[in-house]
């Protein structure tokens, strides 16, 4: 079976979030099952710098633009200099969305539709690839990695994208007076999935459906949840080159060396107190406002807090202010730093994920693999991957007090070394590899490939 995997990001070539990690890990897991999988990615400046030798396999004139497709092994790169030869994926260096994102990702979907004849199934990821099922009758799967990001644009883009006027209706692409890429994909895709079973149920409710819950309930027969896996080679504490001291479940005493290295790296006090780690987007969705509000209480437990990420300026400022009030106890590193992310996973005692909603999440799986039990809100994929009290600690309400109470519950166990080792080893023993997910995707593809084109 031949599959075209269409994505706006793929680690390490271009990454803005967890989708980049998924796009790097799932295709190889599918190939291991015998499928032929090509990944189609926009030719951003950073992608073209990294791919090396590539062969032109197609040339198109679409949406008023000349473009070509380059092939390097199983990677297809859509080259169109006016749209992609700039730094960044979705936003400019100042953090603003590119004003022509509708055209940039509309072209990605359109070219995917032009290439579809060579494939049995096209797998589209998130709103940037969601117009592909609108442009094509090929059997397609749309994976929703985060329903909150929908690709909604002004109606004037409809003609520029070559879409008929009648598609601007409540039954197709119209969403509150705008053109919605994601809604178009949800209407036209042969199958829809999200990245955890719990999130698949949650998005059919008013609370988590982001205005699309009615459509998702209508299409529930083709909607499923497949839990993401993680790259167990890249995230392996026994062989991680980013750690000061590798370790495994039988040598957890070595983890202390990574705690000391993390404290030195972030100018935290050299202390045996509980060290809390957090890596991720600093946004309201991720519950970072709860962390900022609870920061003083966490520092007084006593505990230390190490945060790595970037996001909303107000939340970055709130965490920076907390770090200034508690020097040596709270540290904030803004930006993306792969080495530091690994060191936080290996050096922290617990890992914080207070998300208001979380389609799947990856860090809670990394954390358990690293013997760093997660403290997380009970939502989405966090519920599906953390066993409360056995491999981590869950809390229900999105409130600073609930977060702090869950951390105190973790500390109570942490102060009992034998019991803490049981929690660490239980998490480290879980299988979060991509093998199970790949088998479920392969089954979905097989079902889609037998369907007649729309």
Q: Give the closest residue to 371 by CA, choosing from 301, 446, 425.
A: 425
Helix 181-188 crosses helix 101-115 at what angle (to 10 degrees)? 30
Beta bridge partners of 392: 388
Alpha carbons 46 and 271: distance in angstroms, whole number: 40
Q: Which two tokens stand for residue 367?
A: 């954390």
Q: Which two tokens stand for residue 264?
A: 């030195």
Q: Which CATH superfamily is domain 252-428 in?
A: Glycogen Phosphorylase B; (3.40.50.2000)
Please, are residues 253 and 421 in contact by the beta-carbon 8 Å criterion?
no
**Can you say whether residue 310 is alpha, beta or left, with left for phi > 0 and alpha for psi between -120 and 50 degrees?**
beta
pLDDT of residue 453: 56
Residue positions counted in the chain = 454
Please, are residues 178 and 153 in contact by the beta-carbon 8 Å criterion?
yes
User: Domain residues of the chain, as ranges?
Assistant: 2-229+435-449, 252-428
pLDDT of residue 302: 94
pLDDT of residue 454: 52
The CA-based diameter of the chain, rounded to the nearest angstrom, is 66
Please, are residues 394 and 383 in contact by the beta-carbon 8 Å criterion?
yes
Q: Give the closest residue to 35 by CA, choosing from 453, 445, 390.
A: 445
Domain 2-229+435-449 CATH assignment equals 3.40.50.2000? yes
What is the pLDDT tens value at each position of the chain, 454 positions in all?
Answer: 999 999 999 999 998 888 998 999 999 999 999 999 999 999 999 999 999 889 999 999 999 999 999 999 999 999 999 999 998 899 988 889 999 999 999 999 999 999 999 999 999 999 999 999 999 999 999 999 999 999 999 999 999 999 999 999 999 999 999 999 999 999 999 999 999 999 999 999 999 999 999 999 999 999 999 999 998 998 999 999 999 999 999 999 999 999 999 999 999 999 999 999 999 999 999 999 999 999 999 999 999 999 999 999 999 999 999 999 999 999 999 988 999 999 999 999 999 999 999 999 999 999 999 999 999 999 999 999 999 999 999 999 999 999 999 999 999 999 999 999 999 999 999 999 999 999 999 999 999 998 765 5
């Amino acid at each position: 079976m031949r599959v075209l995997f269409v994505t706006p990001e793929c680690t390490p070539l271009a990454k803005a979030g967890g989708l980049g990690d998924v796009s790097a890990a799932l295709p190889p897991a599918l190939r291991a099952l015998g499928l032929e999988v090509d990944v189609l990615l926009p030719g951003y400046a950073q992608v073209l710098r990294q791919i090396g030798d590539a062969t032109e396999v197609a040339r198109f004139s679409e949406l008023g633009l000349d473009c070509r497709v380059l092939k390097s092994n199983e990677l297809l790169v859509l080259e169109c200099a006016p749209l992609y030869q700039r730094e960044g994926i979705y936003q400019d260096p100042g953090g603003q969305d590119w004003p022509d994102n509708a055209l940039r990702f509309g072209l990605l979907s359109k070219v995917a539709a032009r290439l579809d004849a060579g494939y049995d199934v096209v797998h589209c990821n998130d709103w940037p690839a969601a117009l592909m099922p609108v442009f094509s009758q090929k059997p397609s799967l749309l994976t929703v990695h985060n329903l909150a990001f929908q690709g909604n644009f002004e109606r004037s883009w409809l003609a520029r994208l070559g879409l008929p006027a009648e598609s601007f209706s409540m039954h197709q692409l119209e969403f509150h007076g705008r053109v919605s890429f994601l809604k178009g994909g949800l209407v036209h895709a042969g199958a829809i999935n999200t990245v955890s079973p719990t999130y698949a149920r949650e998005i059919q409710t008013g609370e988590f459906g982001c205005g699309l819950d009615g459509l998702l309930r209508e299409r529930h027969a083709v909607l499923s949840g497949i839990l993401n896996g993680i790259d167990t080679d890249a995230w392996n504490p026994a062989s991680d080159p980013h750690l000061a001291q590798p370790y495994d479940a039988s040598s957890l005493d070595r983890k202390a060396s990574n705690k000391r290295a993390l404290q030195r790296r972030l100018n935290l006090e050299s202390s045996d107190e509980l060290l809390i780690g957090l890596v991720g987007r600093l946004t309201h969705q991720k519950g970072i406002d709860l962390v900022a509000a609870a920061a003083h209480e966490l520092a007084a437990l006593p505990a230390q807090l190490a945060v790595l990420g970037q996001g909303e300026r107000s939340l970055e400022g709130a965490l920076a202010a907390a770090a200034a009030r508690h020097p040596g106890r709270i540290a904030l590193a803004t930006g993306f730093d792969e080495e530091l992310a690994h060191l936080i996973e290996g050096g922290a005692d617990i890992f914080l994920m207070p998300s208001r909603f979380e389609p799947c999440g990856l860090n809670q799986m990394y954390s358990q693999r690293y013997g760093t039990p997660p403290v997380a809100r009970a939502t989405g994929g966090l519920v599906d991957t953390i066993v409360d009290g056995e491999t981590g600690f869950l809390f229900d309400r999105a409130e600073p007090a609930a977060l702090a109470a869950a951390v105190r519950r973790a500390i109570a166990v942490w102060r009992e070394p034998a019991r803490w080792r049981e929690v660490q080893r239980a998490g480290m023993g879980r299988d979060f590899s991509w093998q199970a997910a790949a088998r479920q995707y392969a089954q979905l593809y097989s079902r889609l490939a037998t369907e007649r084109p729309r």
